[in-house]
Amino acid sequence: MSTRSLEWIIERVLFLCAALSVLTTAGIIAVLAFETYEFLREVPIVDFLTGTEWTPLFSSQKFGVLPLVVGTMLVSSIAMVVALPMGLLSAIYLSEYSPSGFRRVIKPVLEILAGVPTVVYGYFALTFVTPLLQQVFPSLSGFNALSPGLVMGLMILPLVSSLSEDAMRAVPQGLREGSYALGATRMQTALKVVVPAAFSGITAAFILAVSRAIGETMIVAIAAGQQPRLTGNPFVPIETMTAYIVQVSLGDTPQGTIEYRTIFAVGMLLFVMTFGLNLISTWLRERFREEYA
Amino acid sequence: MRKHADLIFQFVSLGALLVALAALAALVFDIVSDGAGRLSLQFLTNIASRNAEDAGVYHALMGSIWVIALTGALALPVGVAAAIYLEEYGSRSRMARFIELNISNLAAVPSIIYGLLGLGLFVRFMGMGQSVMAGAATLALLALPVVILSTREALRTVPSSIREGSYALGATKWQTIWNQVLPMALPGVLTGLILALSRAIGETAPLITIGALTYIPFAPDGIWSKFTVLPIQVFNWVSRPQPEFKANAAAGILVLMVLLLSMNAIAIIVRDRQQRRGRV
């Protein structure tokens, strides 16, 4: 074989490997869409999206997904209340105040925090944080939205912090110097110059954090309970979309039944929500890259 | 006054950081104090059991090692090939841009969605069943974006003078990549691979979704064997009401964390050696 045709073949093989990522996305959509289509032939889409009761595993089956969506939103909101302000403040400290030696020590520690498997956070939420909170709120049940929400916030904090810090460090030094020259303090410079200048990057980080919270599985599967319930009360057991998929997967649900298809329908909803958020986040980051390139 | 506000703000932001670190310390303390008492050689060599005191992690540890080794074997060649294409061949084409956008989006898809893909595609459609192979294929897809991104970064650090020198000697593009560029980028590639695998080894949700068993009293004996992994065994123990099993879960977490930290340590050593070599 001539060198030239060998080179041609190699380039095609490399291209196929790169294209596998597109096939993965296509595969995800195909698998989810196929089973969701079968599911929606039995359950009207309006009932699925607007129903307020979710009992596919009971004898009287109801397929309203809202309790799972609300449960997901509840836990994610609690996580965001922790992760966004604390992540942003940590990023401001690391980018604007911290001596570089301190940052060199702290960044790997934050990486460890981000690398801890989520099943470990679930254990922490169930056996440490929940009992601790019960001493403050005696009415808190053993499974609840509050404890996994707080722990999830802790899990996501490094992501918010490191992406926001990247965005702030990309702000040209000249902007800060201009601000100092006008007599501003470091706080004024950070809040009125650096954060606004890095705004799209920080927003991208926040959106990615929301997407991570919605898709997070093990913390809620362990510590939030398995009771789909339409409530905003963080003290009682609930169930999220991801925890439901785990619950069904643990049982022996035969393929082709409607119970089996529910996990793909819920998965489709989860995929659409997170994929939408990811696209917005990517778009924002691209914009921000252009600003100071 | 302004100075006071500035100082207070500095302490508040430092405080946010320290609260996060304190929580990490609490987590480590909680797990060590719950689990260290259960750790023993027996815990590593015994298999799952209905009695908490007799139960061990041998089968789950072996399952994790099988799955991760196979995941690496699948993700490395494909990930490196994809990165080479994007970095060295197609970086300016529209198709390459589209693939790049797609990879960065895939990196943020929740892992449980990959589990549903694995269930529909590998377990059912391809008929792999709930095997080590199906689990590893699922995790390999999950790890690919990380492997691709880190490989591209490693390729970018190879100076273009190396490529030009090779072309000047008459080498073809692929000869240049295979003989010059790839060997230089290898430490970076391996670091990225290990980091991707250390994330995959802690993954629980996608493997539960493809139906990896939560109770399995044997270690895998091949790629078509059924399996369980450490995080699933931990999840199984956490879910039981008896406190003895909670201690087992904590001990299982310690084993998992030791495995994870040693993988990270290897990655750091490789990266360090590469940097030292780069300076010379």
Q: Where are the alpha helices (DSSP H) in chain A?
A: 3-42, 45-50, 66-92, 100-115, 118-124, 130-136, 146-169, 173-181, 186-189, 195-197, 199-215, 218-223, 241-250, 258-291
- Spell B46-77 as b/e; 16+ CB within 10 A means b: bbbeeebeebbbbbbbbbbbbbbebbbebbbe
Which pLDDT does position A100 carry in this prediction? 86
pLDDT at A292 over 70: no
Which of B14, B89, B116 should we substitute to test contact with A (largest number of A Cβ atoms within 10 Å)?
B116
pLDDT digits 0-9 by tens, A219-253? 999 999 899 999 999 999 999 999 999 999 988 77
Spell out the per-residue pLDDT of chain B, length 280, in tens. Answer: 778 888 999 999 999 999 999 999 999 999 999 998 888 888 888 887 777 778 889 999 999 999 999 999 999 999 999 999 999 887 678 888 888 888 888 888 999 999 999 999 999 899 998 899 999 999 999 999 999 999 999 999 999 999 999 999 999 999 999 999 999 999 889 989 998 999 899 999 999 999 877 667 778 888 898 899 999 999 999 988 888 899 999 999 999 999 998 888 888 788 777 666 654 4
Answer yes or no: do A215 and B112 touch at CB < 8 A.
yes
Which pLDDT does position B279 carry in this prediction? 47
Which pLDDT does position B276 carry in this prediction? 67
pLDDT digits 0-9 by tens, A2-34? 788 888 999 999 999 999 989 999 999 999 999
Just give the CATH number of A66-291.
1.10.3720.10
A-proximal residues of B, 82-121, CB under 8 Å = 82, 84-86, 89-90, 96, 98-99, 101-106, 108-117, 119-121
Which pLDDT does position B151 carry in this prediction? 94
Rounded Cα distance, B2 and A283, in Å: 37
Confidence of residue A293 (pLDDT cuts 50, 70, 90): very low
Answer yes or no: do A123 and B234 touch at CB < 8 A.
yes
- Spell A90-126 as b/e; 16+ CB within 10 A means b: bbbbbbbbbeeeeeeebeeebeebebbbbbbbbbbbb
Token reading at B50: 């209905």
Which pLDDT does position A148 carry in this prediction? 97
Within 10 angstroms of residue A170's Cβ, the number of other Cβ atoms is: 16
Q: Is A247 exposed, middle or buried, given 0-12, 13-18 or 19+ CB atoms closer than 10 A?
A: middle
Answer yes or no: do A245 and B209 touch at CB < 8 A.
yes
Which pLDDT does position B269 carry in this prediction? 83
Residue A119 near residue A216, CB atoms below 8 Å: no
A-proximal residues of B, 261-280, CB under 8 Å = 264
For the ranges A96-100, A167-171, B52-56, B169-173, the lowest mean pLDDT is seen at B52-56
Token reading at B122: 């590998």
Phi/psi of residue B110, nearest 5 degrees? -55, 140
pLDDT digits 0-9 by tens, A183-193? 999 999 999 99
Residues of B in contact with A31 (CB under 8 A): 116-117, 119-121
Average pLDDT over chain A reads 91
A290 torsion bin: left (phi>0), alpha (psi -120 to 50), beta (else) = alpha
Closest to B26 (Cβ–Cβ): which among A120, A128, A211?
Answer: A128
Token reading at B114: 């990959």
Look at residues B75, B145, B269, B20 and name the one whose alpha carbon lies nearest to residue A111: B20
Which pLDDT does position A211 carry in this prediction? 94
Which pLDDT does position A174 carry in this prediction? 93
Residues of B in contact with A27 (CB under 8 A): 117, 121
Percent of chain A residues topping a pLDDT of 70: 98
- Per DSSP, the residues of B171-194 read --HHHHIIIIIHHHHHHHHHHHHH
Beta carbon pairs, A and B, within 8 Å: 249
3-state DSSP assignment of residue B131: strand
Closest to A124 (Cβ–Cβ): which among B20, B30, B148?
Answer: B30
Q: Which domains are seen in chain B, by residue range? A: 62-229 (1.10.3720.10)
Rounded Cα distance, A205 and A226, in Å: 30
Q: Where are the alpha helices (DSSP H) in B47-130?
A: 58-84, 94-106, 111-118
Closest to B238 (Cβ–Cβ): which among A14, A94, A222?
Answer: A222
Domain ranges of chain A: 3-42, 66-291
Q: What is the pTM of this model?
A: 0.91
Token reading at A200: 């799209």
